Amino acid sequence: MLVEQIAVFLENKSGRLADITAVLAENNINIRALSVADTADFGILRLIVDNVEMAKSVLKENGFTVGKTNVIAVEVEDKTGGLAKVLKCLTIDNINIEYMYAFVNKTAENAVLIFRFEKMEEAIATLQKGGFTILSREQICAL
């Protein structure tokens, strides 16, 4: 149920994001989802890729600081209120969200919400109780 995500520390300067994506492309690593959070001095690039270990390795070889963490991917219908339903379910059980980002799959029928929670196992139980579909990394990569 947990999906491995890599996080890359970025200096906030021109070309750093391009450098990372070039390294991944040169190593035939496909980015399935991403989010960039930044401040004036640095940023954190969060990525879900099709080959986590290789991505982590090649980025480190190219001088990037890389970490790995687990997130949860929830599939919802891509229509008005989809996110609201998930958030209401989480609110009822008082589940705290550390961060989230989303993408729409190729068919545009569903969206995928990527969450990092304070209490991951409790969040999974709440989402399952609410009838939501939780995706694996393999399922995300197949979209």
Number of Cβ within a 10 Å radius of residue 2: 15
Using 50, 70 and 90 to split pLDDT, how confident is the model at 110?
confident
Whether 20 shows a pLDDT value over 90: the answer reads yes
DSSP-derived pairing of the beta strands 2-11 and 42-49:
antiparallel
CATH topology of domain 71-142: Alpha-Beta Plaits (3.30.70)
Architecture of domain 2-70 in this structure: 2-Layer Sandwich (3.30)
Contact between residue 47 and residue 59 where contact means Cβ atoms under 8 Å apart: no
Mean pLDDT computed over 11-27 = 92
Question: Per the structure block, which two tokens stand in for 88?
Answer: 């209401």
Using 50, 70 and 90 to split pLDDT, how confident is the model at 109?
confident
Where helices occur in 72-114 by DSSP H, the ranges are: 82-92
The pair phi, psi for residue 64, each rounded to 5°, is -90, 145
User: What per-residue confidence (pLDDT) applies to 108?
Assistant: 65
Using 50, 70 and 90 to split pLDDT, how confident is the model at 79?
confident
The more confidently predicted of residues 142 and 62 is: 62
Return the domain boundaries, the chain: 2-70, 71-142
CA distance to 75, 76, 80, 82, per residue, from 109 (Å) = 10, 9, 12, 11
Token pair 């209401």 is found at 88
The pTM score is: 0.89
The three-state secondary structure class of 27 is: coil
